[in-house]
């Protein structure tokens, strides 16, 4: 979104220079299309996560929810979480990768707040705290 705004501003500036009779140095590259938005904010069980808005680069997000599954051996935690605005994810139940130590720190039924590293359409829990 930031790139789109900056590109739009650059195009407007270049146009104003041209209107003043000054030569434009170079034309800016076309802005990439903004990512698709999620329109259904009430997911059903087994929601299609491919429709969730995620960019390819890593970013961080925070959420809270209830632990519904833990597999310390596999390094996963399943959470019934609320919406995660940074990822444009609605409330749903998801299984996340986590270190074995983090997985051992919670149990099914715990209410928890957590931090995620978001990359390539999925999230990995980097911190989790029982509430």
Q: What is the pLDDT of residue 56?
A: 53
Instruction: Pinpoint the residues of the chain covered by CATH 2.40.50.320.
Output: 53-130
Q: How many CB atoms lie within 10 A of CB 108?
A: 11
pLDDT in tens, 44-89: 344 444 444 445 568 999 999 999 999 999 999 999 999 999 999 9
Give the chain's mean pLDDT. Answer: 73
CATH class entry, domain 53-130: mainly beta
34 CB-near residues (< 8 Å, 6+ apart)? 1, 4
CA atoms within 13 A on the CB side of 1: 5
Q: CA-based angle 6:86:105, to the nearest 5? A: 145
16 CB-near residues (< 8 Å, 6+ apart)? none
Q: Please tell me the pTM assigned to this model.
A: 0.58
Q: What whole-number distance in Å separates Cα of residue 96 and Cα of residue 81?
A: 11
């Amino acid at each position: 979104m930031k790139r789109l705004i900056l590109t739009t501003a650059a195009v407007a500036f270049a146009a104003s220079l041209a209107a003043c009779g000054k030569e434009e140095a170079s034309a800016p590259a076309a802005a990439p299309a903004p990512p698709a938005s999620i329109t259904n904010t009430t997911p059903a069980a087994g929601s299609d996560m491919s429709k969730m808005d995620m960019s390819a680069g890593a970013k961080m997000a925070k959420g809270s929810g209830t632990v519904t599954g833990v597999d310390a051996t596999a390094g996963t935690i399943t959470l019934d979480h609320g919406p995660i605005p940074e990822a444009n994810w609605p409330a749903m139940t998801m299984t996340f990768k986590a270190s074995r130590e983090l997985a051992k720190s919670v149990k099914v039924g715990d209410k928890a707040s957590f931090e995620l590293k978001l990359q390539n359409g999925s999230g990995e829990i980097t911190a989790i705290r029982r509430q």
